[in-house]
A and B are shown apart, each in its own frame.
Chain A
Amino acid sequence: MRTKRFRPDVDVAPWKGGHAPYDIIKEGTIALVVVGLLTVMLAVVFGSPDEPAVTIKTWSNATPVDFAMTALSELNQTSGTAQYGAPYNTASTGQKLGPLELAKWVGARVPVNTVRDFVINPLKSLPDQPVLTADLRQWSTASTSTRDQWIKNYTKASTHLTFVNGQVTDTANNVGPVSVFINDLTQMARTGALDQALVTQSGFYTTNFTLPLLFLADGSYLANLALHQHLMGDQWGMMNETGNYPGQAWLWLYTFWYQIAPFNSSANADVLVWGIMMALSVVLILVPFIPGLRSLPRKTRVYRVIWREHYHNTAQ
């Protein structure tokens, strides 16, 4: 009969040494009390951050021209959301993991049409606006080429957009209803009505903030606030949080990849980093079965520090 070879990184010899008293309930109780007290102490001393949420109302009042330009980018479909691709639309292929177009394959399952959802539908929700109603009718009955020409003319003149006496003013000609749309949407945003119109498009009760968050992210206001809070991608981004708090420090490795080449300049950075992290996670799970990796603990002998007392006693 063959005896099985002893593999030191897989097998253990049966313990033939002694045992010591061990009170598992007492240990758990002490740990709970200590952790509870430590938590209370940290909460009392440091508290927690709670920077109020940004609204489209605060954004459009603080920087109305930036808001108007973002609204225009939704209408002429040059915004980040309009150009995004899946899951919002089919405007681009999206990121690729080698030959794999994962997002594109899954498709636009959270459909967002920036013209309809960010501009036309909110404007339609405004009551008792005869001029706007006529303009919306003009828009809906115009041909696609006419609409494109209006938007093109307005976009060309948009570098001269100003905000004077509470109105968005422009110098554009032959723009159809576009001037009214941009100005009225800005007015609507400044009252807070656009915040509500974007979340209530799917009914009275809603907990889905996809539309207002995408609109906010398309402008530069949110990003500028984040920059001042040291939350940008090249500032170790989303693992941080506002103020001097540790944030999601456990995401350090995920965030680390974004700081180095080629990921910090790759158009496919997100899917590449996710690919790496998924692969590393699988490796971590399967460590017990990976030769070499499972031998490192034995070879580095860090265990001698951990079981210092045991080895000291057995050497006596």
Chain B
Amino acid sequence: MSYTDIERQWTTRLRRRFVHLLPPEKLLPDTQPTYVSSWIYVFGVTTLAALVVVIASGSLLAIRGPQWWHTSSVGHFANSLHLWSVEIFFFAMVIHLWGKYFMAAWRGGRALTWMTGVVTFLTSIGAAFTGYVSQTNFDSQWISTQAKDGINATGAGAYFNVLDMGQMLMWHIVLLPLAAVVLTGLHVLLVRVKGVVPPFDEPAKVNA
């Protein structure tokens, strides 16, 4: 195989493109611009950390199946971990989102970063909702029988039946988490590619 053949390989091209777009020093930076100094930045990484805990606690619940947590104190504790990590996740994500809005974080070619962030937020709402309706308790009975009217009114209820616990559980533990994790990964990579948005340029005040 000649050198040219290697150069033409899809793998070689993809690696070159990826490394060009996201060199190691951008992917795992060891310095940041000095303006990256505010409490608001804490909420982005808090959201990511909470997502890890959400997935870990959800995986713990998955080991013994959807009914386990009703009859086991360990299972109930795992459910409590899952619930509170979800609450922290949304709390941090909403503050992160509003913070980024007031920073106009889409500036400098970062519109896609903003958009993937918002879509991740919306996907996460769907993931949480399907969790609430697949708890197999009174809450899931009430929430699903109420929520069906909204979803049915749009026509989506014909395909997305909130009263079908099996369907909701599958969306909750496979499809929506997968979408949320992929979107989050894309969002973080875009942040690393474009860097953190700089402050608005303001003329320095001149003291008389």
Q: Which residues of A contact B (CB under 8 A)?
A: 8-13, 15, 17-25, 27-28, 31-32, 34-36, 38-40, 42-44, 46-54, 84, 86-87, 94-95, 102-103, 105-107, 109-110, 206-210, 213-214, 216-217, 222, 225-226, 229, 231, 233, 237-238, 241-242, 245-246, 248-251, 268, 270-271, 273-274, 281, 284-289, 294, 297-298, 300, 302-303, 306-311, 313-315
Contacts and interface: CB of A to CB of B under 8 A. Distances in A.
A80 to B, nearest CB: 10
Given A231-B142, A248-B129, A39 B53 contact: yes
A242 B132 CA distance: 12
B52 to A, nearest CB: 6
26 contacts: A20-B33, A34-B49, A40-B81, A42-B84, A42-B88, A47-B76, A50-B79, A87-B158, A206-B166, A208-B165, A209-B165, A213-B141, A213-B144, A217-B145, A226-B142, A229-B142, A233-B146, A241-B139, A242-B138, A286-B115, A287-B114, A287-B118, A306-B99, A306-B102, A310-B37, A311-B202
A53 B140 contact: yes
Interface residues of B, number: 93
Q: Which 4 pairs, one residue from A and one from B, show the smallest C-beta to C-beta distance?
A: A207-B166, A288-B106, A12-B108, A43-B80
Contacts of B57: 39
A9 B125 contact: no
The winner among A222, A231, A245, A284 for most chain B CB atoms within 10 A is A284
A281 B122 contact: yes
Interface of B: 28-38, 40, 42, 45-46, 48-50, 52-53, 57, 69-70, 76-77, 79-85, 87-88, 90, 94, 99, 101-104, 106-108, 110-111, 114-115, 118-119, 122, 125, 128-129, 132, 135-147, 149-155, 157-159, 161, 163-167, 169, 197-202, 204-205
Contact of B33 (A17, A86, A222): A17
Given A39-B81, A103-B157, 11 more contacts: A10-B107, A39-B50, A42-B84, A106-B155, A206-B166, A222-B145, A250-B94, A288-B106, A294-B104, A294-B106, A315-B205
Given A107-B158, A289-B111, A298-B104, A246 B87 contact: yes
A31 B45 contact: yes
Contacts of A53: 136-138, 140-141
B87 A13 contact: no
B90 to A, nearest CB: 5
